[in-house]
Amino acid sequence: MEVNNSVAVVTGGASGLGFATAQRLAANGASVVLVDLNDEAGVEAASKIGTNSRFIQCDVRNPGAVESAITGAYETFGRIDVLVNAAGVGTAGRVVGRDGSLFDLDLFKFTIDVNLIGMFDVLRHVAGRMAGNEPNSAGERGVIVNVASIAAFEGQVGQAAYSASKGGVVGMTLPIARELADLGIRVMAVAPGVFATNILSMLPDKAITELENRSVFPKRLGDPEEFAQLVQSIVENPYLNGETIRIDAATRLPPR
């Protein structure tokens, strides 16, 4: 599918990987709707991107808010061709802490709620809208890119909830791609390694240097622009479907 003249919804578009992707798609001729919890950052992000972008505030955990955000996005530009599902949270906790305390069940539920259920809720509403699109000459009505993580495959100590949420994203990719194939909608997931975004802000500098050293080549954190480049390729390449692509400089994180 061509990016030029398409309409893209980017959740988590106010920051990091989502913002870089929205910027790149807009620079290549797409109209973009940023859907994000963070009102202030969202307004600023949309104004940086320019006139072909809008911001809609929404907590993806709230089904009513998701429904009206996707209706709003659809009504703003008259169609939705691309969905980039990048809203997400990074949480950490031990199953049994050093002091014997147990993993906070509310934190586990929160992580699944944002990263998996919220993502699916956005996806189902967008897919419902895409189903009404006129197919392009290749039979495509839409492209959906969900953001997973390498933690879906090699979660570290403390990542039980985060890895479960991202494992769910990887797991639902193929069945949804199979189901939406009849509609001409492709569904892909991307599993980033460690990228320089706000999600790392909870880590001390020492931990960030260690992460940089664990990437094989190039030996540095990923640049959100490199992630955005991959998403653009997925949108443009009609033979990519039903798969999760790692983008991680060959990083395989150890247990801790």
Ligand X SMILES: NC(=O)c1ccc[n+]([C@@H]2O[C@H](COP(=O)([O-])OP(=O)(O)OC[C@H]3O[C@@H](n4cnc5c(N)ncnc54)[C@H](O)[C@@H]3O)[C@@H](O)[C@H]2O)c1
Considering 55, 77, 120, 162, which one is annotated as catalytic? Answer: 162
Active site residue 162: yes
**Restricting to residues 221-250, which ones interact with ligand X according to CB under 6 A?**
none
- CB nearer ligand X, residue 16 or residue 184: 16
Q: Where are the alpha helices (DSSP H) in 56-153?
A: 63-77, 105-112, 119-130
Binding ligand X (rule: CB under 6 A), the pick from 86, 172, 249, 253 is 86
- Closest Cα partner for 60 from 119, 10, 126, 146? 119
H or E element: which one contains 85?
strand 82-85
The CB-side HSE value for 62 (13 A sphere, CA atoms) comes to 10
Shortest distance (Å) from residue 233 CB to ligand X: 17
**Restricting to residues 141-180, which ones interact with ligand X according to CB under 6 A?**
147, 149
- Closest Cα partner for 232 from 15, 32, 79, 75? 32
Q: What share of the chain is helix, strand, coil (3-state, %, to 5)?
A: 45, 15, 35
- CB nearer ligand X, residue 86 or residue 126: 86
What's the CA gap between 9 and 13, in Å, rounded? 8
Q: Does 61 bind ligand X (CB under 6 A)?
A: yes
Binding ligand X (rule: CB under 6 A), the pick from 89, 92, 164, 208 is 89
- CB nearer ligand X, residue 30 or residue 87: 87
Return the structure tokens found at 118.
């919220």
Residues binding ligand X: number (CB under 6 A): 29
Q: Does 49 bind ligand X (CB under 6 A)?
A: no
- Three-state DSSP state, 100: coil
Q: Does 16 bind ligand X (CB under 6 A)?
A: yes
Task: List, by residue number, the catalytic residues.
Answer: 162
- Where does this chain bind ligand X (CB under 6 A)? 12, 14-18, 36-38, 41, 58-61, 86-90, 114, 118, 147, 149, 192, 194-195, 197-199
